[in-house]
Chain A
Amino acid sequence: MNRRAFVRHAASVSSTALLMPLSENLLRAEAVQAARTNQPQIPKGKAEHCVMIWLGGGMSQIDTFDAKKIKGDGKKVAGCYYDTIQTSIPGALFSEHLPNLARRGEFLAPVRTVHHEVIDEHAAATNRMHTGRPTSGSLVYPSIGSLVAATRSSDVAGIPPYVLMGYPSATRGPGFLGPKAGFVYLTDTTKGPEGLSLPPDISIDRAGRRESLLATLRRAAAPHALKDPVLAAYGEAIDQCFSLQNGDFLKAFELASEKDSTRAAFGDEFGQRCLLARRLIQRGVRFVEVGFNLNFVNGAGWDSHNAAQQQLHVLIQGLDHVLSTLIDDLRSHGLLDKTLLVVSGEFGRPASFDAGGGRGHYGKCFTVLLGGGGIKTGQSIGESDHLAMNSVADPVSVPDLFATILNAMGIDPFKKLMDGERPVPLTDNGVPLAKLFV
């Protein structure tokens, strides 16, 4: 790109987009501008929902979606811990424990060259892969779910845009966007979301009696409350709370109303979470994060240090089974093209083994799986070397990944949100991956 084109393009990007401390150097910024300018206009995606499956701990890419023929021995010899299998994606190998997903390659797009440098500590890396940015001392960035909630509220009135199935943390929260872009969360599909589901010992009848007593008491105080706009707003929130509780949203949690065969097909708690994700989407929820890190299976979950590696295949098989079931289920409901699937974690793992036969943390090159969502699936993005540890082609930055997710959902990734009077771009200068849209 010539100098003039760069300047012209830069001028078209609002200066406010650049008010942030940027993590990457100037060369990187220029490269991004160049990429942006050289590409044809990237069309916006048409996905209306996103299900992000979060593999807390960090999934080993070489043992899953970027498998390699070089076999590791769990000791000195680095390599894939399992055998590989062909997939329906040209040039992509999965590990032997992903047979069902391998057959559904046309709906998948593994992004194999994602990278970042925060690998020492899970919390910091989890933050990076939820907010798409380094932490800043001057503001707290929103998670991807909150970004979606803030930019694409639900079409259906009274449906929370962002549901989290996992443990609440600031990293998954709305940051400077405040509680309105926050999540409704649950940690157990049998119990529903905290605060919105009736406690098990409160019958519908009793709940009704309580609500009418409350209505009487509120009426008794009405003259006082009505003229006060602040009290009135809280009063409205009370009404909304009961319509949420008694309305369609809570019905999503009645998994028992699904056919037994459907419930059985989804299987364990992770499966039920994915089934619930579909039911939430059907009711208009925009973004569902599904945590899958049942660490008692192998001890450390996806964080497969030491001996945890030996049972890792159980988790991989679980993922294969449930995600395939979800894909089929979404297809049968006509939802797959409208629902972007993201399988992510805080980082990847090296092909080499630690002293205990497991794998450490690795961030220079790892895989995030995309699927469905009306994007150009059936292809891999980026290519890694023989051990899936270095990018050979098309490295994908975390901001680019975030821009891709937002673009797939029809959200302008160059849009800015306001923190008070300060404009904050949705991503840290990310550009959507054109191959997934053209």
Chain B
Amino acid sequence: MTPPALPPFLRFILGGLFFGALFAPLSNAADAPKAELLPEKNSSLPPVEMQSIPAGKVLAEVFEHAQTTGGAPADWEAKNDKNRFQGFTASWDYLPTNRTQAWVQSDFAIAHLPPKYNARGLRDDRSVPFVVRLSAKMTLPRGSHEVLLRAIKGSRLLVDGGALLASNIKFQVLGKAVAADAEPVPDQLEVQLVKSMALLKPGHSEAISRLESDNSEHLMSFEFFVGGKDLRPEPGSPVVSIRSADGIWRVLRPGLSGAAFTNEAWTELVSAQRDLHESADHLQLSPPTETAFWNNRHTSARKLVLSTPPKHAVPSDIPSDSMIDALLLKKRAGASVAPLVSDAAFLRRASLDITGLPPAPSDVEAFLADKTRSKRATAIERLLQGNGWAHQWVPYWQDVLAENPAILKATLNNTGPFRWFLYDALRDNWSADRFATALIRMEGSSRHGGAAGFATASQNDLPMAQKAQILGSAFLSMEMKCARCHDAPSHPVEQAELFALSAMLQRSPVEVPESSLTKGLKPGSHVTVTLKAGQKIAPEFPFSNFQKQPLPGFVQDPGDSRENLAAIITDPRNPRFAEVLVNRIWKRLMGWTFIEPVDDWDSQHASHPELLEWLARELVGMDYDLKKLVRLIMVSDAYQRETDVTATRHVTPEERSFAAPARRRLSAEQLLDSLFFIAGKRFESEPLNFDLDGRRSAKDFLNLGEPYRAWHLVGLSNERDRPSLAKPFAQALTDVLRVNGWRESRAEPKTAREDGANPLQPAIFANGDVARRITQLSDDSAFTRLALEANSPEQFLEGLFLRILNRKPSHAEREAVVAYIKEEFPARVLPCSQEQMPRKARFTKAVMWSNHLHPDSTKAIYEAEALLKAGDPPTKRLTTAWRQSAEDVVWALLLTPEFAFLP
């Protein structure tokens, strides 16, 4: 193979050969077949359009739909079964030519690959393999540089179109497997070419080279493959790094600026790129046609509500922000009401309710200092504008809609991870009717976060019957669980009706499976089975009290029974949908609601029918915008009052005349996220993925990524009980969630979690591995910073109270804590240089499915457990005795009931 024609201004030598003496001889580049560098069949991506690269930036482009010469399909979408992830093997000989996505970023790295969205704004699958190209106009200072590539699949770096170096397409196992799934367990730190750099991710190959630069501008392009035949589209962490005259390895970017390429730098880059894509409009989450369609629907709905008189008249002279209080107090008939909560309590309550997190100490202080009268309303607006909303509401819908993905061989009624659909829709504040419609249409990617993931139910004889049941309880508060197998004794829905709904979701008649019919019923039982196995039930909306003919302009494809079902459920002439949402959201904010239980109205009636109807009509009038509904409730005095201790009691609708919230415990997710937020620490969990090197069949494994919010976590799928399949760090996180009511399997929908108190809940704060990391005053802890910066014990404890309980301490609390920490306070700080600060030991072994049966993998997991148990190393900048006292205070504050409850 002749080397490619080189630009005359660059001299380079293939790195593995050149650096063999300097670096470990494991260089993949050294072993890399040079054939990979140059396509034999002269295949290349379309040329980079120089004018579309902004100065100082990197242009990122995605290319799909490659064609192989071996008669592979030109029309990938049509020929490939997306659920089975066929596609073909990645090869530089067959490059895709169809540019499907592009954006601008700062670095020659993909730390977060943005998803692809379809025409309706849902996550969709790309063809596999696809190629990502990063290009920039680069001027490297004259002289010698070293460049290093990392990628999980094949990658190459081109300069002015000529290939400079490449990493392997086919991963080479370093050593010999002792059996199936028993490959050697690599220590990534030993494997990687440059030890001072961020840890090499498992399954990645490297290539290194030196180049001489002429100090003039050249086009540099980094191309890499993602996925392949039957593989998940796993981007890995592709990156180009460079070392120039100052000897520091950095991620390559125009201008060669930035920090050294360390683990921390990579973590920052992940956040930065995520933020870039979260706020960008290039993702087409709201394509113009969709936006227009929903705007039209909302205009019609608004007109319809305005022209239809309500069943229950409400006073016409009360402004809408006061209506809630007026109607609640009317029912209270003069009984006394609780006072409004303090400003600090309000901010904690509102912040947790909107963002799922407590307020930052600086926000509390600013809020307390603010003297404006409208500051509570302003705070509500600010919180609603922030990015917490989706994090607060995803877990709710995960429960209600039974989102139940499995990261290993899904067999337990598992769905796809439609959590990402929920997240996208909530982040972009899709109107509730659009959200429900997208869910019912079940489109987009089934395994990588589209609404189609909702359609899946592994090992279920009639998935669509389960989906109909879930949708019924979620959006209509009709409990059809019993109708799954027989006509229900206590519920009005018959099995045939549930199956008719199922047929609408299936878009075809459903055949009654024998296994869905209850057997052995005695004659005269109040439970009856009227269907026969094999009987066909046609798609039809079975309930008579709904409008079945959609309003003009309310459906895009009238022939689609799913869309018709969605239109019937969300029809503004059908008040049920809006009322169900109002009732659900009121319950979540107030702890009690108009109709209980919220997912099964059946024969229940509302405690405040006029308020429920008014709010539901407001919701339609506000274009089904749930943020606006939440704002309306939160500006009321009712929301802002001190809790009513009687409001948790179960009382009849007639007796329900509360005008304040009930006492509410933080949800499992809020507790876990709060812990890390107040300590300013990260989860540092293993990836929620067993197939780290991305070489296993896509149908058996799911990668849910590295979690950074509680709702990302998932059951850890170690039913095999193998130590080598354990994920100790993630397990410590799910331990906190489990005892607080989170379900590691969500096979069934659920709205009201078990929230009874049990001793394991405080215990996990008292002694758990996670709580220990939170209390530990390590150098990366926000509490340590507070301890170092405080001028007095009082100031330190005020900071702690603000951070943990979001208020100032009372006199008694101040006395108790000051007595505990005042000794030694003046002498608490020790000199300690950056170099002397303790380093946290890193887990550098790569344990995954490919090697989990190797004896070394079990040993490695035990090492990880030991690291977890060791916790975060305590700071040396504080004396041990004083640090421990300070930790004890943090510990005690976490254990107070106040921490676990909303004020």
CB-contacts of B633-679 with A (<8 A): 643, 645, 648, 662-663, 665
- Expressed in whole angstroms, the Cα–Cα distance for A170 and B406 within the complex equals 11
With A56-B721, A137-B460, A231-B901 known as contacts, the answer to whether A11 contacts B522 (CB < 8 A) is: yes
With A21-B484, A306-B180 known as contacts, the answer to whether A235 contacts B723 (CB < 8 A) is: no
Contact B888 A206 (CB under 8 A): yes
Contact B820 A135 (CB under 8 A): no
Contacts of B760 in A (CB 8 A): 179, 182, 184, 195-196, 241
- Expressed in whole angstroms, the Cα–Cα distance for A169 and B717 within the complex equals 7
- Expressed in whole angstroms, the Cα–Cα distance for A18 and B518 within the complex equals 7
CB-contacts of A285-332 with B (<8 A): 291, 293-296, 299-301, 303, 305-308
- Interface residue B606 (Cβ < 8 Å from any Cβ of A): no
Pick the contact of B522 from A10, A198, A214, A227 — CB < 8 Å? Answer: A10
- Expressed in whole angstroms, the Cα–Cα distance for A30 and B482 within the complex equals 23
Pick the contact of A137 from B182, B648, B724, B748 — CB < 8 Å? Answer: B748
- Interface residue A210 (Cβ < 8 Å from any Cβ of B): yes
Q: Convert A201-233 into 0s and 1s, putting 1 for each residue whose CB lies closer than 8 angstroms to a CB of B.
A: 010001001100110111111000101111101
CB-contacts of A1-21 with B (<8 A): 7, 10-11, 15-16, 18-21
Contacts of B757 in A (CB 8 A): 230, 233-234, 236-237
With A19-B485, A422-B482 known as contacts, the answer to whether A305 contacts B721 (CB < 8 A) is: no
Contact B518 A220 (CB under 8 A): no
- Expressed in whole angstroms, the Cα–Cα distance for A296 and B760 within the complex equals 32
Contacts of B645 in A (CB 8 A): 227-230
Q: Convert B435-472 into 0s and 1s, putting 1 for each residue whose CB lies closer than 8 angstroms to a CB of A.
A: 00000000000000000000001011001011001000
Contact B754 A180 (CB under 8 A): yes
Nearest CB to that of A307 among chain B residues?
Answer: B179
Nearest CB to that of B727 among chain A residues?
Answer: A167
Task: Give the number of A-B contacts (CB < 8 Å).
Answer: 309
Q: Convert B859-880 into 0s and 1s, putting 1 for each residue whose CB lies closer than 8 angstroms to a CB of A.
A: 1000001000101000000000
Q: Convert A152-185 into 0s and 1s, putting 1 for each residue whose CB lies closer than 8 angstroms to a CB of B.
A: 0000001000000011111101001011101010
Q: How far is the CB of A302 from chain B (nearest CB, A)?
A: 9
Q: Convert B391-414 into 0s and 1s, putting 1 for each residue whose CB lies closer than 8 angstroms to a CB of A.
A: 000000000000000101101110
- Interface residue A194 (Cβ < 8 Å from any Cβ of B): yes
Pick the contact of B721 from A21, A166, A228 — CB < 8 Å? Answer: A166
Q: Convert B672-704 into 0s and 1s, putting 1 for each residue whose CB lies closer than 8 angstroms to a CB of A.
A: 000000000000000000000000000000000
Contact A237 B759 (CB under 8 A): yes
- Interface residue B525 (Cβ < 8 Å from any Cβ of A): yes
- Expressed in whole angstroms, the Cα–Cα distance for A217 and B854 within the complex equals 51
Pick the contact of A26 from B520, B716, B772, B901 — CB < 8 Å? Answer: B520
Nearest CB to that of B646 among chain A residues?
Answer: A229
Contacts of A123 in B (CB 8 A): 406, 408-409, 411-412, 717, 719-720
- Interface residue B761 (Cβ < 8 Å from any Cβ of A): yes
Q: How far is the CB of B646 from chain A (nearest CB, A)?
A: 9
Contact B758 A180 (CB under 8 A): yes
CB-contacts of B693-748 with A (<8 A): 715-726, 731-732, 734-735, 738-739, 741, 743-745, 747-748
Contact A124 B412 (CB under 8 A): yes
Nearest CB to that of B812 among chain A residues?
Answer: A220
Q: How far is the CB of A285 from chain B (nearest CB, A)?
A: 15
- Interface residue B486 (Cβ < 8 Å from any Cβ of A): yes
Contacts of A20 in B (CB 8 A): 485, 518
- Interface residue B884 (Cβ < 8 Å from any Cβ of A): yes
Q: Convert B755-767 into 0s and 1s, putting 1 for each residue whose CB lies closer than 8 angstroms to a CB of A.
A: 0111111111011
- Expressed in whole angstroms, the Cα–Cα distance for A136 and B884 within the complex equals 50
- Interface residue B519 (Cβ < 8 Å from any Cβ of A): yes
- Expressed in whole angstroms, the Cα–Cα distance for A308 and B720 within the complex equals 15
Contacts of B859 in A (CB 8 A): 296
Contact B897 A299 (CB under 8 A): no
Contacts of A41 in B (CB 8 A): none
- Expressed in whole angstroms, the Cα–Cα distance for A21 and B495 within the complex equals 13
Q: How far is the CB of B854 from chain A (nearest CB, A)?
A: 7
Nearest CB to that of B465 among chain A residues?
Answer: A137
Q: How far is the CB of A12 from chain B (nearest CB, A)?
A: 10
Q: Convert B809-841 into 0s and 1s, putting 1 for each residue whose CB lies closer than 8 angstroms to a CB of A.
A: 010110011001000000000000000000000
- Expressed in whole angstroms, the Cα–Cα distance for A293 and B721 within the complex equals 6
Contacts of A254 in B (CB 8 A): none
- Expressed in whole angstroms, the Cα–Cα distance for A274 and B812 within the complex equals 49
- Interface residue A244 (Cβ < 8 Å from any Cβ of B): yes
Count residues of A near B (Cβ-Cβ below 8 Å): 103
Contacts of B179 in A (CB 8 A): 299-300, 306-308, 356
Contacts of B178 in A (CB 8 A): 299, 307
Contacts of A26 in B (CB 8 A): 519-520
Contacts of A257 in B (CB 8 A): none
With A168-B731, A220-B816, A238-B895 known as contacts, the answer to whether A213 contacts B888 (CB < 8 A) is: yes
Q: How far is the CB of A123 from chain B (nearest CB, A)?
A: 4
- Expressed in whole angstroms, the Cα–Cα distance for A235 and B757 within the complex equals 9
- Interface residue B267 (Cβ < 8 Å from any Cβ of A): no
Nearest CB to that of A295 among chain B residues?
Answer: B722
Contacts of B855 in A (CB 8 A): 296, 299
With A170-B745, A230-B901 known as contacts, the answer to whether A19 contacts B735 (CB < 8 A) is: no
Interface centre among B520, B716, B857, B858 (most CB of A within 10 A): B520
- Expressed in whole angstroms, the Cα–Cα distance for A135 and B410 within the complex equals 12
- Interface residue B515 (Cβ < 8 Å from any Cβ of A): yes
Contact B759 A241 (CB under 8 A): yes
- Expressed in whole angstroms, the Cα–Cα distance for A29 and B521 within the complex equals 10
Q: How far is the CB of B897 from chain A (nearest CB, A)?
A: 5
Nearest CB to that of B459 among chain A residues?
Answer: A135
Contacts of B768 in A (CB 8 A): 194-195
Contact A294 B723 (CB under 8 A): yes
Q: How far is the CB of A395 from chain B (nearest CB, A)?
A: 19
Contact A231 B741 (CB under 8 A): no
With A29-B520, A237-B761 known as contacts, the answer to whether A19 contacts B482 (CB < 8 A) is: yes
- Interface residue B286 (Cβ < 8 Å from any Cβ of A): no
- Interface residue A54 (Cβ < 8 Å from any Cβ of B): yes
Q: Convert B257-290 into 0s and 1s, putting 1 for each residue whose CB lies closer than 8 angstroms to a CB of A.
A: 0000000000000000000000000000000000
Pick the contact of A169 from B526, B719, B724, B871 — CB < 8 Å? Answer: B719
- Expressed in whole angstroms, the Cα–Cα distance for A159 and B858 within the complex equals 32
Contact A196 B767 (CB under 8 A): yes
Contact B721 A216 (CB under 8 A): no
Contacts of A233 in B (CB 8 A): 756-757
- Expressed in whole angstroms, the Cα–Cα distance for A380 and B459 within the complex equals 34
Interface centre among A10, A135, A197 (most CB of B within 10 A): A135
Contacts of B898 in A (CB 8 A): 221, 225
The 8 A-B residue pairs whose C-beta atoms are closest, nearest first, are A56-B721, A170-B745, A178-B754, A137-B466, A296-B858, A240-B759, A195-B763, A237-B757
Q: Could you list 26 examples of A-B contacts with CB < 8 Å? A: A18-B525, A20-B485, A26-B519, A26-B520, A29-B520, A56-B722, A120-B411, A135-B412, A137-B469, A137-B748, A140-B748, A166-B721, A169-B715, A188-B865, A191-B869, A213-B820, A217-B816, A218-B896, A221-B896, A244-B763, A293-B721, A293-B723, A299-B853, A305-B180, A307-B179, A346-B719
- A187-B865, A221-B810, A229-B645 given; 7 more Cβ-contact pairs under 8 Å: A21-B516, A121-B409, A176-B748, A209-B888, A237-B761, A242-B766, A299-B854
Measured CB to CB, the residues of B under 8 A from A are: 178-180, 182, 406, 408-409, 411-413, 457, 459-460, 463, 465-466, 469, 481-482, 484-486, 490, 514-516, 518-523, 525-527, 643, 645, 648, 662-663, 665, 715-726, 731-732, 734-735, 738-739, 741, 743-745, 747-748, 754, 756-764, 766-769, 772, 810, 812-813, 816-817, 820, 853-855, 857-859, 865, 869, 871, 884, 888-889, 891-893, 895-898, 900-901
Measured CB to CB, the residues of A under 8 A from B are: 7, 10-11, 15-16, 18-26, 29-30, 33, 54, 56-57, 120-124, 126-127, 135-140, 158, 166-171, 173, 176, 178-180, 182, 184, 187-188, 191, 194-200, 202, 206, 209-210, 213-214, 216-221, 225, 227-231, 233-238, 240-242, 244-245, 291, 293-296, 299-301, 303, 305-308, 346, 356, 421-422
